[in-house]
Structure 1
């Protein structure tokens, strides 16, 4: 993935998160949880995009079969 695409996606995610924080009335705790979830998701996505974190397709949660 080209670097310019990563930068554009990060800008779009940041602007959307700012819009949600600025204009959608929510409890402060809910906003902070939303911010944490988005930041963690973006960090994991970036680690996968740069190849630091291997593909998560093989990870299974729970019992097999």
Structure 2
């Protein structure tokens, strides 16, 4: 994955997270859980993109 795509994706995710935190009213606890989930997902995606984590295609969530 080219570095420019990585940077653009991180900027888009950051802006979307900021918009959700700023303009969608929700409880502070829910907002912090949402932020944590998104940050963990982005970190896992970055680790996978740089080849540190390996291929995540075999990971299944749920059933």
Which TM-score applies when normalising by structure 2?
0.90
- Please provide the CA RMSD for this pair: 1.6
Classify 1:46/1:15 alpha carbon distance in 2 versus 1 (closer, same or farther; 3 Å): same
- What's 2:13 paired with? 13
Deviations 1:45-64 (A, max 9, x none): 000000000112334679xx
Q: When the two structures are superposed, what TM-score results if normalisation uses the length of structure 1?
A: 0.87
Aligned residue pairs total: 62
Structure 2: distance between partners of 1:58 and 1:9: 23
Gaps of 5+ in 1: none
